[in-house]
Amino acid sequence: MEEEFYATIKLKTGEEIFCKVSASEEDQKTMLIISNPIVISEIKTKYGVSGYKVEPWLKTTTEDTFIVDIENVLTMSESIDINMIKIYEQYIQKEDISKLNTTKLNRKMGYVGNVNEAKKILENLYKNS
C-alpha cells in the first residue's frame, strides 16, 4: 500500500470528488482506498465566486473509507492546493466533532406536553402580566 495523498478524482460516472487516496495492488488489480470523499461546488453570485459548498460524496452512509477500482476512474490529479486541503480538513474535523456530540433524545431531558396545555400556560401568563 502506498503513501496517502490528497487528490481530485473524476469517475467515469461524471462525479468529481476530493479525498485522501492511497493505492493498493490486489490480485493484479489496482484499487484506490479513498478516505472521507467530498464533493465541492462553487457558489457563484452575480459578482463572481463567493465561496464553496462542501458535501459528503455519499450522503446515506456513515462510513468514511471506500475502495474504488482504478478502472472506474477517468482521471486523478494529486492536489497540493493549500486552500482546497484546508477546506477539506476543516470539513472532516467538523464532521468528526458532530459525530462525537450526538445525544440521543429521551423523555427525561425535558417536559413533554401537548399544544393545548402549552396554549393554556401561555394564555395564563399573558393574562397575569
37 near 19, Cβ under 8 Å?
Answer: yes
Domain range 5-127, its CATH number among 2.30.30.100, 3.40.50.80, 3.20.10.10, 1.20.810.10: 2.30.30.100
Task: Tell me which amino acid residue 44 is.
Answer: K
- The span from the CA of 77 to the CA of 65, in Å, is 19
Convert the pLDDT of each residue in 25-74 to its tens digit: 888 888 999 999 999 888 888 887 778 889 999 988 888 899 999 999 99
State pTM to two decimals.
Answer: 0.69
Task: Tell me which amino acid residue 67 is.
Answer: I
Q: Which helix (H) or strand (E) holds 6?
A: strand 5-11
CA torsion angle 41 45 48 51 (round to 10): -40
Convert the pLDDT of each residue in 77-106 to its tens digit: 999 999 889 989 998 888 877 666 666 767
Residue 94 pLDDT: 84
Structural domain spans, the chain? 5-127
∠96-98-101 over CA atoms, to 5°?
115
